[in-house]
Amino acid sequence: MGMLDGILGQLGGQVDIRAIAQQVGIDPAMAEKAVAALGQSHAEPGDTLEGAAAKTGLDIGQIGQIAEQLGGAGALEKLSGLLNDNPQAASILNMLDRDGDGNPLDDIAGMASSLFGKK
């Protein structure tokens, strides 16, 4: 999966993005973005799951399942620190924000509509 592999290896245990994606029912690229969003949101004020859900467009249930697979609150704390130390990996989420407005949801919706031939 690339950028996050090294960081996820530091969480301890085997974190398999593909397995997490399959269990949650999303594609691996979105699972990777959800992991980055969880790490970023954990360092921000407010609820971590709500923040990650808002950044990715996934529902809180899916985000919660991903957080559990990562190892819960302790793992999110460590992930947050690791992402802070490696900003290039944290930028995964920014790849979705094509218009730079800070919210990738409108861009994701635009990508999805273009897949189905609607604008």
Which tokens in the block code for residue 67? Answer: 């957080």
pLDDT digits (tens, 9 = 90+) for 53-71: 998 899 999 999 999 988 8
Can you give the pTM of this predicted structure? 0.68
Q: Is the pLDDT of residue 112 over 70?
A: no
Quote the distance between the C-alpha of residue 77 and its chain's center.
14
Handedness of CA 98, 103, 105, 109 (dihedral sign): negative
Q: Is the pLDDT of residue 1 over 70?
A: no
Enumerate the domain spans of the chain: 3-115
Q: Report which of 40, 18, 43, 41 is spatially closest to residue 31, judged by C-alpha positions.
A: 18
Residue 100: pLDDT band by 50, 70, 90 thresholds? Answer: low
